[in-house]
Structure 1
Amino acid sequence: MTNRSDKQTADVLLLASVLEKLRTHDGLTIARLKAGESGTTAPLLELPATRRFASVHELDRARAARELVINCVRDDLKGTTQIVADAILALGVHTTSYAEAGIEERVTRSLYNPSLGPRREALLNNWHRLHQALGHQPGEAPSDRSLRGTTEPAVLRELANQLIRRAIYSVGSKTVTMLDAAPAADAAPAGRVIVVGGAVMDATFRTKTLPEPETSSEAYGFDLSPGGKGLTQAVAAARLGMRTSLIAAVTDDRFGEEILQYLHDEGVDTSLVKRIRGRRTPFTGVFEKELGDSIAVNWRNEKQVFLSPEDLDDHRDHLAGCDVLLTTFEVPRETMQQSLALAHSDPLNRPLVIVTPGQPYVDERISRDTFLRIDYLVAHPWELGHFAAQGQTPFDPDPVARNLLAFGVEALCVLVNGGCTVYSGAAHDVLSVPTIPSIYKESSAARDAFCAALAAKLVDNDGKFSAAVALWATAAMSCATADFPLTNSMPDRQRVDALLARFPFSMNGGAST
């Protein structure tokens, strides 16, 4: 019996074979796609992601297939893989970027030449320049023989794999939607969300192994992209249909402009963002392994780029009038506490408050009033160690969780290996939400997806927590983990519902707050 994994592998190999045929001559053109629609190119034209793309954008299959491949190369491939795929298929993805980086027009013409030979020659002769033009660290250029026999087949298999993933997960993609999507009139109420947190740039090195002290190792991929828990939670909430605004500090350098443009493209309101002039954007260095586990080093530039309590005073009405406030420990402790105080300015008509304690404040205590103002604290177990009693050994998160409820936190969501344990209620009820399996480990953005989904589902449920709310938020976290290799891993509502529909989990009852 052939299982789903075997079938997916066979599909990848078949699609890679199609792409290998299309790399010859003038590359992946609409004319060649149409010429082979009844035979050679049929697997690509009949791909579910192609059919969805054609339906959504009202294109014929050949044009939809070419645009889909271009989008996949641009958004889902990285570094050398992206550069090689673009050149050997003559897609022209980086024409503008190469020109802006000073690559001569004659080189670009050769790189996208109607014949494969000149494309290969231009690729090899300009290997380092092309990588540097796109901000990638180039490895050693392969030989012509290695390019043909090893590099190109591997690149096309990876492209085929990502196209298959789009066929499976495209309900979470910005560029396509399910054909049977519910009409807009049936959509859940949007809700108003304010996020208070960090907006930085992430420099992500993808590596198979971390180097030992006093040694170095080569990364197989690199990415420079907007990040930060606040930014990611805002993007995740917007993807779920929430009317979302971010309160963060952003500089006016080129990275700050890129952050703002990214937020704008994702539908996040930036009118409440604090602009700081003449300073440098904070950075996070992320070392990410193949299955998603990672470590990070933060440079916050916190003396120059920060939100003060007074900055939040200017947004008092927004904080008090939203449906849900999401905040993180990325901002100074006094600022975080002020955001909660302003949200509670009218205790009888206030937003729900969801707090992410990462990174925990070092040697700084949270006020007792702050605990009383937290509806949902969403934490990893290790973060609870900062709330443990001094001298408590060995560390046990369970009593710490119960103490936090005693301090006034309404509910504590502890995230472990893709699952969730929720402590809530005066009776300290405990609800365990099952793990939805994934081949990838929980990515750094998975918790942000959980927080946004928790906010969305609580709004849908008139602010009432239930086992179904917890399961839906956990499913959103699982979507972000499963889609970890994709650029846009934050799911939309259809993506979460589709995942739950494929798994037999059912939860009844559970604690409510």
Structure 2
Amino acid sequence: MLGPIVILGVFVADTAYRAARQPRLGETVMGDSFALGPGGKGSNQAVAAAKAGGKVHFLSRLARDAFGDLALRTWSEAGVTPEVAFSEQGYTGAAYIFLEAGTGNNAIIVSPGVAGDISEEDIDARADLIRRASVFVTQLEQPLPAAIRGLQLAKEAGVVTILNPAPAAPLPDGMLALCDWVTPNESEAEALTGLLVHDPITAEAAGRMLILMGAGGAVVTLGAQGAVLVPGDGAALHLPAIHVGPVVETTGAGDAFNGGFAVALSEGRSPADAVRFGIATAGISVTRPGTAPAMPMRAEIEALLSRPS
């Protein structure tokens, strides 16, 4: 029996404001709409993976408050098993999301709350779960020592490890060597490598640089241009995006991709097929508003992948 997908990360409540443009400092603009919903990169990835058919456990920290209750409801509805430590003081995280009405593009501020206190001890308390996983995924919204400890435990046990290096941040020496796959977008790849990334050719160059820096392989996501798979032992492959319909919101696209990618790898699919599965998951998600609520079900992903090209 395949082991579960274990994802370490942060839950935040997304407060999303849609307007024609962002206000300048000192300025107030009128918005078109407001929505409150579940978010956080790790949580979004866990929801995406569970709805895409994975058996998912999510490691995080919550406060006992209304946003913490929202997290537990979100995971229950998606089929995610929570592996959560509770803080008696502090607050569950929140995010400000600006959505540009004309394009669906976004700008985000994240305040992780008590998830900023996730520690190596929290990870060690779930060490047995991590060691029996098929895939372990983490990002950079929680403290780096916790992410590194999770990657160490997984790597030592032969679990496939994925680092989604978001939001972009400097990585300590040796961290990439713990990663079988690193999955940056254009700006994150540029931040890690110093190389400008804007198309498949430059994405491959950044992926090769990440491998030289220690990663086992890289997938550089390019939004509407799809993704570039750069394995550690073979030729790079550009896989195009799959057009599903008009783009409504891109906020959760990277999380959708990573959740789908993790599911496909956990099922033993090839890296190229796993990237295609992730692209299909993301392609559907951007046609819907929200982040976690936009994640597609397994049947939708399979139907898209079987559609004639």
Q: State the TM-score, normalized to the length of structure 1.
A: 0.55
Question: 2:218 maps to what in 1?
Answer: 412
Q: Is the 8 A contact 2:161 2:178 kept in 1?
A: yes
Question: 1:17 maps to what in 2?
Answer: none
Specify which of 338, 342, 359 is matched with residue 149 of structure 2.
Answer: 338
Question: 1:432 maps to what in 2?
Answer: 238
Q: Is the 8 A contact 2:256 2:282 kept in 1?
A: yes
Displacement after TM superposition at 1:452 (Å): 1.4
The verdict on how the C-alpha distance between 1:394 and 1:410 changes in structure 2, with shifts beyond 3 A counting, is closer
Question: 1:356 maps to what in 2?
Answer: 164
Q: Residue deviations 1:70-129, cap 9 Å, x none?
A: xxxxxxxxxxxxxxxxxxxxxxxxxxxxxxxxxxxxxxxxxxxxxxxxxxxxxxxxxxxx
Supply the AA of the counterpart residue of 1:455: A
Between the aligned partners of 2:197 and 2:230, the Cα distance in structure 1 is 21
Displacement after TM superposition at 1:453 (Å): 1.2
Question: 1:111 maps to what in 2?
Answer: none
Displacement after TM superposition at 1:487 (Å): 7.5
Q: Is the 8 A contact 2:11 2:42 kept in 1?
A: yes
Q: Helix, strand or coil for the counterpart of 2:73?
A: helix
Aligned pairs for 1:69-218 (under 5 A) are 192-218=4-30
Q: Residue deviations 1:55-81, cap 9 Å, x none?
A: xxxxxxxxxxxxxxxxxxxxxxxxxxx
The verdict on how the C-alpha distance between 1:398 and 1:310 changes in structure 2, with shifts beyond 3 A counting, is same
Q: Is the 8 A contact 1:440 1:484 kept in 2?
A: no
Displacement after TM superposition at 1:190 (Å): 7.1
Between the aligned partners of 2:255 and 2:197, the Cα distance in structure 1 is 29
Q: Is the 8 A contact 1:190 1:242 kept in 2?
A: no
Supply the AA of the counterpart residue of 2:21: T
Q: Residue deviations 1:429-467, cap 9 Å, x none?
A: 21000122242166121111111111221222x2x5243
Supply the AA of the counterpart residue of 2:258: C
Question: 2:171 maps to what in 1?
Answer: 365
Which has a greater percent of helix?
Answer: 1
Q: Is the 8 A contact 1:238 1:266 kept in 2?
A: yes
Between the aligned partners of 1:448 and 1:486, the Cα distance in structure 2 is 8
**Which segment drifts farther, 190-199 or 321-330?**
190-199
Specify which of 255, 273, 279 is matched with residue 468 of structure 1.
Answer: 273
Is residue 311 from structure 1 mapped to residue 122 from structure 2 by the alignment? Answer: yes
Specify which of 452, 457, 468 is matched with residue 259 of structure 2.
Answer: 452
Supply the AA of the counterpart residue of 1:356: N
Between the aligned partners of 1:412 and 1:208, the Cα distance in structure 2 is 35
The verdict on how the C-alpha distance between 1:294 and 1:359 changes in structure 2, with shifts beyond 3 A counting, is same
Supply the AA of the counterpart residue of 2:167: Q
Between the aligned partners of 2:63 and 2:197, the Cα distance in structure 1 is 43
Aligned pairs for 1:486-497 (under 5 A) are 488-497=293-302
Is residue 248 from structure 1 mapped to residue 60 from structure 2 by the alignment? Answer: yes
Aligned pairs for 1:253-402 (under 5 A) are 253-270=65-82, 272-290=83-101, 291-301=103-113, 305-346=116-157, 350-361=158-169, 364-368=170-174, 370-388=175-193, 398-402=204-208
RMSD: 2.4
Between the aligned partners of 1:201 and 1:485, the Cα distance in structure 2 is 11
State the aligned residue count: 303
Between the aligned partners of 2:116 and 2:290, the Cα distance in structure 1 is 31
The verdict on how the C-alpha distance between 1:245 and 1:234 changes in structure 2, with shifts beyond 3 A counting, is same
Between the aligned partners of 2:251 and 2:10, the Cα distance in structure 1 is 14
Q: Which has the higher contact order (CA 8 A, sep 6+)?
A: 2
Aligned pairs for 1:229-248 (under 5 A) are 229-248=41-60
Between the aligned partners of 2:139 and 2:196, the Cα distance in structure 1 is 27
Q: Helix, strand or coil for the counterpart of 2:295?
A: coil
Between the aligned partners of 1:485 and 1:314, the Cα distance in structure 2 is 32
Aligned pairs for 1:4-23 (under 5 A) are none
Q: Is the 8 A contact 1:385 1:397 kept in 2?
A: no
- Rg larger for: 1
Supply the AA of the counterpart residue of 1:329: L
* Percent of aligned pairs sharing the same letter: 23
Deviation beyond 6 Å, 4+ runs, structure 1 = 392-395
The verdict on how the C-alpha distance between 1:384 and 1:416 changes in structure 2, with shifts beyond 3 A counting, is same
Between the aligned partners of 1:248 and 1:353, the Cα distance in structure 2 is 17
Supply the AA of the counterpart residue of 2:251: S
Between the aligned partners of 1:295 and 1:254, the Cα distance in structure 2 is 24
Between the aligned partners of 2:186 and 2:94, the Cα distance in structure 1 is 25
Q: State the TM-score, normalized to the length of structure 2.
A: 0.90
Q: Is the 8 A contact 1:207 1:289 kept in 2?
A: yes
Displacement after TM superposition at 1:261 (Å): 2.1
Displacement after TM superposition at 1:225 (Å): 1.5
Between the aligned partners of 1:341 and 1:394, the Cα distance in structure 2 is 29
Which has a greater percent of strand?
Answer: 2
Question: 1:84 maps to what in 2?
Answer: none
Q: Is the 8 A contact 2:13 2:38 kept in 1?
A: yes
Q: Is the 8 A contact 2:47 2:292 kept in 1?
A: no
Q: Is the 8 A contact 1:253 1:278 kept in 2?
A: no
Between the aligned partners of 1:442 and 1:413, the Cα distance in structure 2 is 22
Q: Helix, strand or coil for the counterpart of 1:274?
A: strand
Supply the AA of the counterpart residue of 1:334: P
